[in-house]
């Protein structure tokens, strides 16, 4: 009889794994809609609150910077608590923050509410990936990550368009009310759907400051952080301002904006599970390197569009969404597998922090560069597109620097490959192909 070791992902039935993924995807749906809905509501927020693009950038970046700061704190203590309990507390706090956004009467109070929402919601993404890392072994983690991405896809195909409909017809406050109502069932179901995942609780833990320093001094962690920074900069320099650009420069109406999110979300919904399976079959690094260049090209096309027919804009945006999701699935699977399991919660909370801070800087860079003419058209958006494309190309090299290590007894720093083998092996995948380094330890009784 074999029993899993304390550090090995627990063995769950197929039905329980599907239920876990369903809950995680549902929570991902509400958090993504909450974050994304602000961007397409940009034209309405700028008009009704009488704010400029830089101030709108603050609304976007306030969430991300708060999430980043909260993630840094969480990374030092989060492995002291059971995953399920932590997940529920974070989600409850997130829903409270979203409710406060719904009742924010001014620009200043909305920014404050976004800070609170980000403080809780920003850590949820890292916690979801930690749960996936605890439940699913490395050879099925790409598929599980792809399934989790369906939350993002459904947010684009259904959540954001419906939120836009509510915001356009009933005011920008209403989508936040709908999110709180829609999120409550997932919160109530969580204690029944998720296992406790508390094998790491009760063990000796380093001092929070020591844990934080350790997380940010491991060289493999830093390589993973560099990858996520490049990916966030390549997205958030562009996406917060894309709706305003499509309305003012490309010629779409606010009523047509939901079409591009429906198309992008539908295509991503179909593509994400397939990409996850391809990443598991052909390797995460190879899949990433095949898809990411397409994202760079489409970012340049999208940010240089003249007045264009709506169907063409929808097609380009849909392809961009698929490529962006397609690169994130293998990238996040690689990042999740780059840390020993006993450090996973701390590392992924820190990664979530870095991810949100980088997104905030991306939004700030875009807001600082973009200008607005008296007619409302945005200027220098093409230059922002070049920055985004360059960051994407940089990520191709950075992805190859990330080492995969799923064995808690083998740190990224202690792994020593023969020089000849290391010279001929792509970073990011080699350790996954070495059973003696990555196979979970088992105790036979």
What pLDDT, on the 0 to 100 scale, is given for residue 442? 32
Most confident segment among 71-75, 99-103, 140-144, 154-158: 99-103
Backbone angles phi, psi at 402, to 5 degrees: -80, 130
Are 83 and 130 spatial neighbours (Cβ–Cβ below 8 Å)?
yes
What pLDDT, on the 0 to 100 scale, is given for residue 14? 59
The per-residue pLDDT for range 243-286, each reduced to its tens digit, is 889 988 999 887 788 788 788 878 887 888 888 888 888 888 99
Task: Please state the pTM of the whole predicted model.
Answer: 0.67
What pLDDT, on the 0 to 100 scale, is given for residue 129? 75
Return d(Cα 135, Cα 140) in angstroms, integer: 10
CATH class of the 10-198+208-444 domain in this structure: mainly alpha
Return d(Cα 317, Cα 333) in angstroms, integer: 24
CA atoms within a 13 Å half-sphere pointing along the CA-CB vector of 74: 32
**pLDDT, greater one: 83 or 15:** 83
- Going from N- to C-terminal start, the domains of the chain cover 10-198+208-444
**List of residues 6+ apart from 244 with CB closer than 8 A:** 42, 43, 46, 53, 56, 378
pLDDT over 50 (residue 4): no
SS3 146: helix
Most confident segment among 60-64, 100-104, 406-410: 100-104
Can you state the angle between helices 310-336 and 344-369, rounded to 10 degrees?
150
Percent of the chain with pLDDT over 90: 24
What pLDDT, on the 0 to 100 scale, is given for residue 291? 95
Q: Which of 258, 299, 239, 256 is nearest to 60 (CA)?
A: 239
């Amino acid at each position: 009889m074999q029993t899993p070791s304390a550090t090995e992902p627990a063995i769950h039935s197929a039905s329980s794994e599907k239920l876990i993924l369903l809950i995680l995807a549902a929570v991902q749906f509400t958090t993504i809609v909450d974050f994304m809905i602000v961007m397409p509501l940009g034209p309405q927020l700028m008009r009704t609150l009488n704010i400029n693009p830089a101030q709108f950038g603050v609304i976007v970046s306030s969430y991300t910077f708060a999430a980043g700061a909260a993630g840094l704190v969480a990374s030092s203590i989060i492995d002291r608590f059971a995953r399920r309990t932590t997940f529920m507390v974070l989600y409850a706090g997130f829903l409270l923050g979203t409710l406060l956004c719904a009742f924010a009467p001014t620009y200043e109070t909305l920014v404050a509410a976004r800070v609170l929402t980000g403080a809780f919601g920003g850590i949820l993404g890292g916690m979801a990936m930690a749960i996936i890392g605890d439940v699913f072994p490395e050879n099925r983690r790409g598929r599980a990550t792809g399934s989790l991405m369906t939350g993002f896809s459904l947010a684009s195909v259904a959540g954001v368009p419906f939120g836009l409909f509510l915001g356009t017809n009933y005011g920008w406050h209403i989508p936040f009310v709908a999110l709180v109502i829609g999120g409550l069932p997932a919160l109530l179901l969580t204690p029944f759907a998720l296992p406790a995942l508390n094998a790491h609780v009760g063990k000796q833990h380093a001092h929070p400051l020591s844990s934080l320093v350790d997380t940010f001094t491991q060289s493999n962690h830093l390589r993973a952080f560099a990858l996520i920074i490049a990916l966030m900069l390549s997205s958030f320099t562009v996406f917060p301002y894309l709706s305003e650009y499509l309305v003012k420069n490309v010629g779409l109406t606010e009523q047509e904006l939901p079409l591009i999110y429906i198309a992008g979300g539908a295509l991503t919904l179909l593509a994400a599970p397939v990409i996850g399976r391809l990443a598991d079959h052909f390797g995460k690094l190879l899949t990433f390197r095949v898809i990411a260049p397409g994202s760079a090209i489409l970012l340049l096309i999208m940010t240089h569009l003249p007045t264009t027919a709506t169907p063409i804009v929808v097609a380009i945006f849909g392809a961009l969404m698929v490529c962006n999701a397609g690169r994130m699935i293998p990238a996040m699977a690689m990042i999740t597998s780059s840390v020993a399991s006993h450090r996973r919660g701390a590392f992924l909370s820190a990664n979530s922090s870095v991810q949100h801070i980088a997104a905030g800087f991306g939004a700030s860079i875009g807001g600082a560069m973009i200008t607005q003419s008296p007619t409302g058209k945005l200027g220098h958006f093409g230059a922002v597109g070049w920055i985004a494309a360059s960051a994407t190309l940089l990520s191709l090299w950075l992805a190859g620097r990330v080492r995969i290590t799923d064995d808690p007894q083998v740190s990224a720093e202690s792994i020593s490959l023969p020089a000849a083998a290391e010279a001929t092996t792509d970073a990011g995948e080699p350790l996954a192909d070495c059973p003696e380094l990555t196979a979970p330890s088992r105790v036979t009784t």
